[in-house]
Structure 1
């Protein structure tokens, strides 16, 4: 009986194994039929799952079927140089690399245009716009251990725990031999901006650095996720990236918390850390820009014609708030040794002159001992540092001259 029982169990196990293998084989065949084209359907559909596209799975499959039914493959995207649809060598020389989404991924120009339209339509339905944020000197400031000045040495013992990132702002990254300081108000900024924008991080730093900074800013991966663009994904530096889109660019006052940051830009004054202070959250550049972004967002979506969102241009809203009537209208400046400040003042609506006359309202100077400074003081004109013009530009509103006035010049 015992032997017969063992034989019975053995037969049942073998039958069960046969049935399991048969079902597994049928499942594989069924899966192959669903995929078709050596499984490339799944690969192709996956490219629609990236952060730049928010269409539904049903739309992804429909798009695939539409392309597959065509007699000529449009090569919508490639991985490692091979088309994800037909498997042939990539031939679209205008394909755009998206290495920050998936290594070796390129998307064809036509497919990219289609994705952009689909994503933009979905985004506008959620009443959101795109916002690309620079990392360094905008959201945070970093320095290497070897560049820490003697007056900043105390910071090494005042860093916050990496085990509780959301509550900290100054972090010691031993793996990178670096200190990173988050800009005041940045967490509030990201939280409120995420309701209005789909946000991306942009930096000319290495990818490892970019991802680590994203972790400090967004430890729960709520705001950025994979939307981090680093040096390997870029071809141009700094504002040159926006050379064709300057009207979309909002400049911010650079955040120089560490001394090495200021030295990099040729600044000779002490950094915030050396002075043992920081920007005031409610009065800093990040808070000011958030107010501007809220106004731009409200202006864009609160138009009378709510049916033509795709036809609107956000640059018109930006231009409205850059209007000279709100910034430097009625100001006539003399001086400023820095060409950049003079051009900035003119863009804000000020009139700049090289002649000293009664029409001048402000004299801009780096020092109080110059002839033009004496001229301004004798005639009761405002004598301000060029940073007054910069503040007008960065904070998008008139700034009190008293905060930027130079000390009365000494008599010669």
Structure 2
């Protein structure tokens, strides 16, 4: 089967498109997030590729098909000469790619009027006609500068992508950077207690074995979260990985180099605030995966107002003092304490177990038909196992002016699988209170029930596992309040 077409399209619009692409492809590579691999090939592999075919290769790269383009030697106004490798010994998972190529090949040669499924620099990726700005669709600048697709085409691409992912037994996982996979600080914000860190940074020449980096050209220092390398390696076996950060594009790409120096996990799937469609928010509209097959890992729930059911909220990673200050935390940071999270028992290790469980539910339970599976419902199912078997009564935790059932903490507890009640009885296992001396607390002590403060539920929510009750007793709450008061006096 031949990927390239031997029949060029002759039109003035094609010539305009060729000229435009020549300018774009000759521009500074730093302005574009996509590049074509260039390597030598045998002369008999030469093939004429039409203008719309070249843009179709951009399209294929967006979907990450395993069709390898061997070389791109020359761009002219009338044609593009492309050296390519023949597709031989296709793997099973490539069959969908080949079928899609054939479908688009037929569509591109059709005599029907072009529907302009997408544009590149305001020119149709199929026919090369110039398209009005308001008709150009959704931008995917992280794939390639200037490329856009209409919503119908995005839906079609996601349908194809879903079939390919299922054949590979994979889902999509969108990962936040700051406070999730790493923590960064501006150098001038380092406290005197953190000056020792400057002598412990790892070389940027080989980042594979390090976790603390001085990026003087960016005036910052970055600490990778413990277990992050193992997390990415294991997660990549089950998921196609994306980065999605509210940082700018240069920052996102630099962090990706620290996390993925060989480029084996993320590829070009690095989305920054410059690529989003809504200011100060994140959305799955620029992710090429069906929502029912996408999980999100982020420390900030409010960043995803339209996709909370896809979201796994992770405990924030506060390594630097400036990070604690940013969120108005009065305790010392991990760097000030000269400590760090545990690798085997830390937040990422816990989340990895959740991901494995959700992935297993999607692919290994309920038969062979995957069409009705939805990670959002499966994630809720996993969450309901965390406090399953616990019956909770709250004591002076909620305002008396509102219904207990409407309070967010009540709903969180129920979402974690606990049964919530307003009155105590023999079936109650936990009383959640904020102070000693209440009637319900005295009852719990007398009946040998657990008495914990609300942090027990919060921790279960963020850590995705039931926490030891002895770490959340009311005496710990009182001690914590005393320590915070002393710290405030010092400041």
Same fold (TM over 0.5): yes
Residue 111 of structure 1: aligned partner:
153
Q: 1:405 to 1:164 in 2, by over 3 A?
A: farther
Matched residues, number? 376
Q: 1:245 to 1:372 in 2, by over 3 A?
A: farther
Is 1:274 the counterpart of 2:343? The answer is no
Q: CA RMSD, aligned part only?
A: 3.0
Give, in whole Å, the separation in 1 of the partners of 2:253 and 2:162: 25
Structure with greater helix share of residues = 1
1:309 to 359, 370, 386: 370
SS in 2 for 1:199: strand
The C-alpha deviation readout for 1:14-65, integer Å capped at 9, x for no partner, is xxxxxxxxxxxxxxxx998446553322233123222435353663254143
Q: 1:185 to 1:325 in 2, by over 3 A?
A: closer
Residue 321 of structure 2: aligned partner:
259
Is 1:72 the counterpart of 2:72? The answer is no
Q: 1:330 to 1:355 in 2, by over 3 A?
A: closer
Give, in whole Å, the separation in 2 of the partners of 1:262 and 1:291: 27
Could you tell which deviates more after superposition, 75-84 or 232-241? Answer: 232-241
SS in 1 for 2:222: strand
1:155 to 191, 194, 197: 197
Pairs within 5 Å for 1:47-196: 47-54=58-65, 56=97, 59-91=100-132, 93=135, 95-196=137-238
Pairs within 5 Å for 1:12-411: 33-34=7-8, 38=14, 39-54=50-65, 56=97, 59-91=100-132, 93=135, 95-234=137-276, 235=278, 236-237=280-281, 239-240=301-302, 242-306=304-368, 308-323=369-384, 326-327=387-388, 329-336=390-397, 341-350=409-418, 361-365=430-434, 370=435, 376=441, 380=445, 382-407=450-475
Give, in whole Å, the separation in 1 of the partners of 2:335 and 2:365: 45
SS in 2 for 1:167: coil
SS in 2 for 1:310: coil
Cα pair 1:53 1:119 within 8 Å, conserved = no
Give, in whole Å, the separation in 2 of the partners of 1:263 and 1:65: 59
SS in 2 for 1:72: coil
Q: 1:353 to 1:304 in 2, by over 3 A?
A: closer
Give, in whole Å, the separation in 1 of the partners of 2:216 and 2:345: 32
Give the structure-1-normalised TM-score.
Answer: 0.82
Larger radius of gyration between Structure 1 and Structure 2: 1
Deviation of 1:122 (Å): 0.6
Deviation of 1:129 (Å): 0.4
Q: 1:273 to 1:242 in 2, by over 3 A?
A: same
The C-alpha deviation readout for 1:229-281, integer Å capped at 9, x for no partner, is 00011124254553232221111111111111122112111111111101001
SS in 1 for 2:475: coil
Give the structure-2-normalised TM-score.
Answer: 0.69
Residue 15 of structure 1: aligned partner:
none
Q: 1:256 to 1:80 in 2, by over 3 A?
A: same
Q: 1:268 to 1:375 in 2, by over 3 A?
A: farther
Deviation of 1:304 (Å): 4.1
